[in-house]
Amino acid sequence: MPGRLLIIEDESLLGKELTRRYQKMGYEVEWVTSLAEASQALTELHFDPNLVLSDMNLQDGNALDFMEQLDSRAASTEWLFLTGFGSVPDSVRALRLGAYDFLEKPCDLERLDLVVASAARAAKAQRQLSDQVENQHRRYSVDAFVGRSEAAQKIRKLLLKLVQVPLSALIVGGETGTGKGLVTKILHYNGLRAKGPLIEINCAALPREIMESELFGHESGAFTGAGSLHRGLIEQADGGTLFLDEIGDMPMELQVKLLKAIEDRKIRRLGGEREISVDLQIIAASNLDLEEMAQEGEFRADLYHRLSVFKLILPPLREVPEDLDNLVSLLVAEFNAKSAKQVKIIPEEVWNRLRGYQWPGNVRELRNLIERCVLFSNGQVFPLEWLQLPGEKANANQSEMQQNGRENLMIPLDGAMNLDDMDRFIIQNALERSDFNITATARALGTTRETLRYRIRKYRLETNP
């Protein structure tokens, strides 16, 4: 069905003709002859039209005034106006209020059919977008940040405040896997830019030679291989939010250009001659201490100060072990639903081992562990044998390794640890084995002291025994 159409027309012959015509085309049509009847249809009869086709001037008022009074209730409805007394001020006002088109009577019906069909398609797209935003709003409500610890409660209170203010930029910090991406989605889908796009980029995942093109876009022929125009991610995020994950890995030369774009609210594509205005919110995330990096000259201080309108630091899971109860229960329920399992009972020994583990990968590591255990479960009891906590594996094999005269390190390759978690685990163990001697650790790992110090700062590792 093309959609629901509300016709507001006090000329009886025209109203009947339009009703008959669009009912034949498959529209669900409601015809009224006054604004009072239109109001009744919308409120009391709960007729929710995709499209309103209305005369401009009716006996009980002006349809433009009526549209303006409806305000947000008509946000996903397209309006077409017909009038026998068209004027420039009326047409300008109609378009300013968001009307789809403004046509003068008598209007050629075939032309009107084209405009109505086009407006119906636009209304359908708008409804789909609104439904998507509403679904994401429900999925990423502030309560999606789970936990009963004092830190989790404080973060939820901060999020409730942040989504109500038009922040231009903010920084979300915390270790890998603490939920920086989740917080970004909460801020976007509950904030003032929820109907705009959410564009994400991981600055650590892109080679620096293509990062500038990805961020700022390029014109056709701007460089070898640029065969067509490309809208950069900043331009794509116009009206919404740009999430810059791992911004600490962004090259210095791009930090300068990003700062200028934020300050001027304008960008220029590579190879372009004109500036493009952009209006967006920037959320920058990093597992590094950007303030410390700025002080040491490893991150531009001016960009840091521009981004840090507000800073939200997420705690690692090892500091809020009381949140495990909520997180484990929630994740078990989620993977039960996804895999048609029925895990309901979590033995006390499982809880003890979960609470005793340090969780270097934080919630992301916990999520991988719960998914594995639920998938391999048989029955209602959470399977202890599939925990496979990395530290426990290492301890279990320690005596065997010592007997064989080897210094091995056991790392799971089943998804329990991601690449950063493995990197952190290896460096921490190497530091401990060398009694925290930086030179000896760097030699054992086959790297430089400068690189090792960077990794130690990145993963916030202890360097003193």
Smallest CA-to-CA distance from 287 within 415, 172, 446 is with 172
Among the listed residues 286, 287, 304, the one whose alpha carbon sits nearest the alpha carbon of residue 295: 304
Q: What's the rounded Cα separation, in Å, for the pair 193 and 238?
A: 10
Domain assignment present for 367:
yes
Same domain as 154, residue 115: no
The CATH number of residue 108's host domain is 3.40.50.2300
pLDDT, tens only, 169-190:
999 999 999 999 999 999 999 9
The DSSP code for 105 is: S
Q: What does 128-158 look like in DSSP terms, one character per residue?
A: HHHHHHHHHHHHT-GGGS---SHHHHHHHHH
Whether residue 411 lies inside any domain: the answer is no
Are 254 and 169 in the same domain?
A: yes
| Maximum separation of any 2 CA atoms in the chain, in Å | 99
Q: Are residues 157 and 254 in the same domain?
A: yes
Q: Is 402 in the same domain as 457?
A: no
Same domain, 311 and 321: no
Domain contains 88 = yes
Please state the domain count of the chain.
4
In a domain, 422, yes or no: yes
Cα 172 to its chain centre, rounded Å, is 13
> Is the residue at 335 inside a domain?
yes
Q: Which of 77, 101, 136 is the last residue of a domain?
A: 136
151 and 18 in a common domain:
no
Q: b vs e for 431-442, b when ≥16 Cβ sit within 10 Å of the residue's Cβ?
A: beebebeeeebb
Q: Which of 136, 157, 191 is the last residue of a domain?
A: 136
Quick: pLDDT tens for 58-105. Answer: 888 888 888 888 865 556 788 998 887 666 677 778 777 888 888 888
- pLDDT score, position 463: 66
Of 442, 420, 422, whose CA–CA distance to 431 is shortest?
442
For residue 453, give its domain range: 418-465
User: Which SS3 state, helix, strand or coil, does residue 249 take?
Assistant: helix
Residue 18 and residue 7 in contact, taking contact as beta carbons nearer than 8 Å? yes
**Residue 70, pLDDT score:** 80
Buried b (16+ CB within 10 A) or exposed e, 224-258: eebeeebebbbbebbebbbbbbbbbbbeeebbebb
Q: Are residues 19 and 161 in the same domain?
A: no
Q: How far apart are the first and last CA of the chain?
A: 71
Of 102, 136, 170, the position where a domain reaches its end is 136
Q: Quick one: which H or E segment has residue 452?
A: helix 449-459
Question: What pLDDT is recorded for position 402?
Answer: 43
Is the same domain home to 113 and 198? no
Question: In which residue ranges of the chain is pLDDT below 70?
Answer: 1, 71-75, 85-88, 133, 391-417, 419, 462-465
Same-domain status, 175 and 294:
yes
Assign residue 181 the CATH number of its domain.
3.40.50.300
